[in-house]
């Protein structure tokens, strides 16, 4: 089977490198997955932030199987279906009352793409047609399709596909650990927001349609913005008539220790983008949830042609919706979000303790079970390792050898196991992480100057 791996393109990974030791998974149970050789791993990144309710989840499997026998496909251009409406009702029940309208789709990029289109179309139909520009952050990721990629802010992911669609303006990542200006934790959020307002003024508020952001910026390095940043952004969007879009594709459905990360700051968007954990990873499922104010611009007589002019074949698919309903009910009924908060706190406490003997851990941050660890070569100056050292990737590979899958870039790793992880399982994850980190430092010890302070 391994010979077949060379014929498959794996996301973001160089094929030649992948085939050297391909990870080919074949089954899963709870927080663990098993590869074709029978080796077991803890899924420390929940698929990719999706398998929030663990693998081998019988309730979700049965919800899908029952619906497959009942109705597997409903024509998305002529009809909706009972499961899609049930899911819509559930989404409107679990969001505040200003949200009245749902667009069901099947992937994360589909909903960020749709949200950007909706914001532009909204302004055309709401009497402000000169507004078309979209603000977003450098180092953000909002998906791989045209507009979603244009809103993303990592040069390496954008460059091969340029020129990208126009009208996208990037802002500094609101990173409290590395602000590019002097300040204190109390002032840093205000300064970032002031820079945003300056960009709005310079671009012309009459040209700006939308601001898209993740409440916690995973691809930027699990960046939790300063506490006052999102409330200030909400206020700017209100002042300048800008549609605020939250990409909660990762942070939604309990991942950040609340049903939606918007709750953490009690600061709410005009359009939500939801995906991944919405189905527990058991079906491709995503949704935009719109406030009534936005939705009203799409409500009119047929000849006015104000409907949303985009859709996708699998949007609102009845099987995906049936699984989504079962996943959201399980999340809410079994105290799983409380568990995510408790396990996240457990992880952060132990990782902070590790900082004492591993000063290479520059920062530990996150909310709920979305935890980031940033590595530094020099803790005082927060100097990063040279990219060629590939520090985070080495930690990831050492963890994989020990049976733990992690998300990593060269300067950090993210921990995001299923929200059902037990306290003992979290200890196991942290034990393996600690061993992997020690091995990485050991292996690099002779080559580079490391701030290694040994335990004890």
> H or E segment at 99?
strand 99-105
Partners of 412 in the beta sheet? 374, 409
How is residue 301 annotated by DSSP? -
- Per CB under 6 A, does 324 bind ligand PLP? no
Q: How many CB atoms lie within 10 A of CB 224?
A: 21
Gap between the Cα atoms of 343 and 351, Å rounded:
12
- What backbone phi and psi angles, to 5 degrees, belong to 367? -140, 140
Q: Which is nearer to ligand PLP, 191 or 409 (CB)?
A: 409
Rounded to a whole number of angstroms, the minimum distance from the CB of residue 280 to ligand PLP is 14
Q: Which is nearer to ligand PLP, 32 or 137 (CB)?
A: 137
Residue among 99, 122, 141, 282 that touches ligand PLP (CB under 6 A): 141
Q: Which is nearer to ligand PLP, 203 or 263 (CB)?
A: 263
Q: Which is nearer to ligand PLP, 250 or 290 (CB)?
A: 250
- Per CB under 6 A, does 223 bind ligand PLP? no
- Per CB under 6 A, does 134 bind ligand PLP? no
> H or E segment at 245?
strand 243-247
Partners of 363 in the beta sheet? 374
Residue among 242, 250, 258, 371 that touches ligand PLP (CB under 6 A): 250
Rounded to a whole number of angstroms, the minimum distance from the CB of residue 263 to ligand PLP is 18
Among candidate residues 249, 279, 283, the one with its CA nearest the CA of residue 112: 249
Residue among 18, 34, 48, 435 that touches ligand PLP (CB under 6 A): 48
- Per CB under 6 A, contacts with ligand PLP among 257-296 are 275
Rounded to a whole number of angstroms, the minimum distance from the CB of residue 38 to ligand PLP is 29
Characterize 19-44 residue by residue with b for buried, 16 or more Cβ atoms within 10 angstroms of its Cβ, and e for exposed.
beebeeeeebebbbbeeeeeeebbbb
Gap between the Cα atoms of 251 and 261, Å rounded:
6
- Could you tell me the CA-to-CA distances from 236 to 193, 200, 201, 356, 384 in Å, in that order? 8, 9, 11, 40, 33
Residue among 143, 315, 366, 417 that touches ligand PLP (CB under 6 A): 143
Rounded to a whole number of angstroms, the minimum distance from the CB of residue 11 to ligand PLP is 8
Residue among 118, 249, 340, 347 that touches ligand PLP (CB under 6 A): 249
Residue among 214, 363, 367, 374 that touches ligand PLP (CB under 6 A): 214
- Per CB under 6 A, does 211 bind ligand PLP? no
How is residue 180 annotated by DSSP? S
Q: How many CB atoms lie within 10 A of CB 218?
A: 24
- Per CB under 6 A, does 108 bind ligand PLP? yes
Among candidate residues 238, 284, 305, 292, the one with its CA nearest the CA of residue 105: 284
Count of residues of this chain found to bind ligand PLP when the rule CB under 6 A is applied: 14
- Per CB under 6 A, does 315 bind ligand PLP? no
Q: Which is nearer to ligand PLP, 122 or 246 (CB)?
A: 246
- Per CB under 6 A, does 112 bind ligand PLP? yes
Query: Which residue is it, tokens 């799409």?
Result: 298
Rounded to a whole number of angstroms, the minimum distance from the CB of residue 214 to ligand PLP is 5
Residue facing ligand PLP at closest CB distance: 108
Partners of 367 in the beta sheet? 370
Residue among 28, 54, 76, 107 that touches ligand PLP (CB under 6 A): 107
How is residue 256 annotated by DSSP? T
- Per CB under 6 A, does 149 bind ligand PLP? no
Gap between the Cα atoms of 183 and 414, Å rounded:
27
Rounded to a whole number of angstroms, the minimum distance from the CB of residue 312 to ligand PLP is 11
Binding site for ligand PLP (CB under 6 A): 48, 107-109, 112, 141-143, 214, 218, 247, 249-250, 275
């Amino acid at each position: 089977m391994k010979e077949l791996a060379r014929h498959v393109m794996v996301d973001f990974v160089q094929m030649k490198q992948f085939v050297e030791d391909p990870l080919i998974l074949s089954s899963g149970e709870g927080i663990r997955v098993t590869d074709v050789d029978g080796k077991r791993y803890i899924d420390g990144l929940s698929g990719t932030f999706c398998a929030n309710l663990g693998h081998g989840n019988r309730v979700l499997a049965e919800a899908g199987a029952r619906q497959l026998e009942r109705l597997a496909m409903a024509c998305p251009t002529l009809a909706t279906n009972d499961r899609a409406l049930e899911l819509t009702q559930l989404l409107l029940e679990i969001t505040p009352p200003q949200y009245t309208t749902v667009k069901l789709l099947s992937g994360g990029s589909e909903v960020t793409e749709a949200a950007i289109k909706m914001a532009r179309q909204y302004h055309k139909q709401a009497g402000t047609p000169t507004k078309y520009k979209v603000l977003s952050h450098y180092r953000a990721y909002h998906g791989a399709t045209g507009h979603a990629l244009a809103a993303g802010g990592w040069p390496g992911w954008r460059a091969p596909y340029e020129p990208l669609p126009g009208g996208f303006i990037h802002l500094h990542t609101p990173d409290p650990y590395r602000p590019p200006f002097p300040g204190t934790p109390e002032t840093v959020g205000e300064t970032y927001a002031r820079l945003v307002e300056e960009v709005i003024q310079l671009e012309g508020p009459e040209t700006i349609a939308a601001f898209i952001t993740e409440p916690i910026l995973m691809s930027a390095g699990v960046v939790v913005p300063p506490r006052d940043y999102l409330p200030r952004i909400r206020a700017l969007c209100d002042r300048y008539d800008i549609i605020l879009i939250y990409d909660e594709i990762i942070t939604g459905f309990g991942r950040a220790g609340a049903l939606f990360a918007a709750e953490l700051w009690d600061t709410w968007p005009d359009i939500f983008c939801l995906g991944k954990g919405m189905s527990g990873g058991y079906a491709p499922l995503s949704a935009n949830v719109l406030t009534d104010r936005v939705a009203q611009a799409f409500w009119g007589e047929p000849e006015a042609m104000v409907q949303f002019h985009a859709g996708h074949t699998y949007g609102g698919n009845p099987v995906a919706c049936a699984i989504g309903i079962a996943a959201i009910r399980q999340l809410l009924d079994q105290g799983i979000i409380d568990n995510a908060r408790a396990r996240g706190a457990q992880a952060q406490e132990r990782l902070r303790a590790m900082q004492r003997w591993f000063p290479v851990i520059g920062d530990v941050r996150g909310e709920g079970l979305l935890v980031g660890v940033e590595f530094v070569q020099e803790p005082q100056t927060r100097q990063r390792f040279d990219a060629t050292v590939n520090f985070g990737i080495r930690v990831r590979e050492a963890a994989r050898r020990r049976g733990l899958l992690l998300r990593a870039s060269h300067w950090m790793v993210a921990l995001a196991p299923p929200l059902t992880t037990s306290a003992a399982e979290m200890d196991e994850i942290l034990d393996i992480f600690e061993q992997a980190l020690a091995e990485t430092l050991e292996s690099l010890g002779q080559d580079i100057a490391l701030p290694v302070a040994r335990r004890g």
